[in-house]
Amino acid sequence: MPAGSVALDFTCDTHGGRLMRLWMSRQAGHTTFGGEGVQGAWDNDTSGCGVVMVRCNHDDCRNSARLTNEWLVASFRQVLVNFEAGKGLPIAWFPLSQVGASNS
């Protein structure tokens, strides 16, 4: 994660532990996105709408969430605003049940 970035971390409500981190960096007038995740914990939605699927990778766990572009942009924006105002860290943590459209 580049210096000056804000990030969103996603965890399973039941098992904890970070499943995925997505980050956004704004430098020199350009915005860059990136991320990393536990193997098997995320995938692109096949609907072609730019949705990312996050799911718990523990056996028999069915917790998952759909991260839409709109939700991601709004969440990154809020973390950035809060951080720049001194009201929080540059990272926000989300259990899957509090993200987009969840399936538990």
- 71 located within any domain: yes
Total domain count for the chain?
Answer: 1
Identify whether the C-beta of residue 13 lies closer than 8 Å to the C-beta of residue 55.
no
Task: Output 31 or 2, whichever has higher pLDDT.
Answer: 31
pLDDT band at 102 (very low <50, low <70, confident <90, very high): very low
Q: Is the four-CA dihedral 96, 98, 99, 104 of positive or negative sign?
A: positive
Inside any domain, residue 65: yes
| Average pLDDT of the residues of the chain | 84
Task: For residue 1, tell me if it sits in a domain.
Answer: no
> How far is Cα 104 from Cα 22, in angstroms, rounded to an integer?
22
pTM for the whole structure: 0.83
- pLDDT tens-place string over residues 17-49: 899 999 888 777 788 888 888 888 888 776 666
Does residue 67 belong to any structural domain of this protein? yes
In a domain, 27, yes or no: yes
Domain that holds residue 25: 6-103
The Cα-based distances of 43 to 2, 29, 38, 89 in angstroms read: 23, 29, 11, 27
Query: Two tokens at 85?
Result: 């105002």
